[in-house]
Amino acid sequence: VILRSIDDKILQEVSKAMAPSVEQFSSTSWRPRLFDNKVLFCTGGSGSICSGQVRALVALGANACIVGRNHDKAKNVAADIALVRPGSIVLGLGGVDVRNHESVKEAVETCVQRLGGIDFVIAGAAGNFVSTIDDLSANAFKAVVDIDLVGSFITAKLTLPRLVASAERARTNKDLDSSSLTGGRIIFVSSTNYQCARIAQAHVCAAKAGVNALSDCISLEYGPRGVTSNVIAPGLIDDTEGARRLTDPTLRNDLIRSVPVQRLGLIKDISDATIFLFADTGSFVNGATIDVDGGAWRIRAAGAGPNYPSLPSRAHQVKLGRGSRL
């Protein structure tokens, strides 16, 4: 018992000294310097969810390039993320619209020149607003599909050759520790809207369903070249600007009640799924979608009523008879 408590103490001290910021952004199971020498390219990196993903990877050793439309936002968010780990390099490139092939191409080239390659990609740029089909013009529908879906394709198309090279490097680099065996991975940030209809979200549901299909096809074509492609589909993530903008605060308690785990998501939930997929833990996961929504879409699909999560009363179960189907 004494030895164990000494061991625990030493472990605590070592992890405190090595990675003061790691605990803040990811579960304690992720080891410090997991992504040393790795480079992440992220679109939509100035947004709340993606900047959280980038922050977690940088905390664990990666360097990163985030791109976005707004110059100041990209630069400021990049500078803020870089503070998480002294010595890290985080580029913030503004003026990059994922709908524009040339602007993404330029950003990818800058990333490769400045950081030496690309090992991981997060395709996270997205547009969203609330509009029923009655009010949705064809141009508004197209704007969201162009950002979410066409933008994801352009990002993938321009970075996949870099990811193939990274996967090859990881495969042949036998001298380094196991963290270096990872590389050549792309994650698309979708939404649970990809699989269920939502009122006033036709444009987003259509675009996100396409993003999932795109990722599946990439997993099929690029798996043999060592690249994995997966989707993270967030549910309602509480600590984001999008959630603040698009949700009615008076419905907050109802929203929480409608999630099986009885809470809303946090940016950290998405970061942890990201680390899992990019680390060696995710090496056999390809063409998958991880719904990070506390099970919320399951109960929508199951058609759970307004009294959820109350279970049928014992008397009601007895009346139905043991083993009866509800």
The residue annotated as part of the active site, out of 46, 190, 258, 271, is 190
| Of 213, 246, 279, 295, residue with least CA distance to 36 | 279
Strand partners, 231: 188, 289
Span interacting with ligand HXC, options 127-135, 213-221, 248-256, 266-274, rule CB under 6 A: 127-135
CA distance 320 to 326: 8
- What's the min distance (Å) between Cβ of 231 and ligand HXC? 15
Q: Quick check: 91 and 78 in contact, CB under 8 A?
A: yes
Q: Which is nearer to ligand HXC, 98 or 108 (CB)?
A: 98
Q: Which is nearer to ligand HXC, 160 or 231 (CB)?
A: 231
Asked whether position 324 contacts ligand HXC by CB under 6 A, the answer is no
Q: Positive or negative CA dihedral for 131, 136, 140, 145?
A: positive
Helix (H) or strand (E) holding 72: helix 71-82
CA distance 262 to 254: 10
Tell me whether residue 166 is one of the annotated catalytic residues: no
Span interacting with ligand HXC, options 80-88, 208-216, 241-249, 298-306, rule CB under 6 A: 241-249
Asked whether position 126 contacts ligand HXC by CB under 6 A, the answer is yes
CA distance 38 to 326: 52
Sorted by sequence, the CB contacts under 8 Å of residue 54 that are 6+ apart come out as 40, 42, 45, 64, 66, 81, 90, 122
- What's the min distance (Å) between Cβ of 251 and ligand HXC? 11
Q: Which is nearer to ligand HXC, 143 or 288 (CB)?
A: 143
Residue 326 CA neighbour count, 13 Å, CB half:
11
Environment class of 53 (CB within 10 Å of its CB; exposed 0-12, middle 13-18, buried 19+): buried
- What's the min distance (Å) between Cβ of 232 and ligand HXC? 13
The residue annotated as part of the active site, out of 51, 75, 179, 208, is 208
Asked whether position 253 contacts ligand HXC by CB under 6 A, the answer is no
Asked whether position 95 contacts ligand HXC by CB under 6 A, the answer is no
Q: Which is nearer to ligand HXC, 22 or 74 (CB)?
A: 74
Q: Which is nearer to ligand HXC, 147 or 211 (CB)?
A: 147
- The one among 103, 129, 299, 300 contacting ligand HXC by CB under 6 A: 129
Tokens of 130: 């609330």
Strands (E), the chain: 39-43, 63-67, 90-93, 120-123, 185-189, 228-234, 289-292
Asked whether position 236 contacts ligand HXC by CB under 6 A, the answer is yes
Running DSSP on this structure, what letter comes out for residue 257? H
Q: Which is nearer to ligand HXC, 222 or 297 (CB)?
A: 297
- The one among 89, 150, 164, 246 contacting ligand HXC by CB under 6 A: 246
How many residues lie near ligand HXC (CB under 6 A)? 16
Residues 136-165 that bind ligand HXC (CB under 6 A): 137, 139-140, 143-144, 147
Tell me whether residue 16 is one of the annotated catalytic residues: no
Sorted by sequence, the CB contacts under 8 Å of residue 316 that are 6+ apart come out as none
Annotated catalytic sites, by residue?
190, 208
Residues at the site binding ligand HXC, with contacts judged by CB under 6 A: 47, 126-129, 131, 137, 139-140, 143-144, 147, 236, 242-243, 246
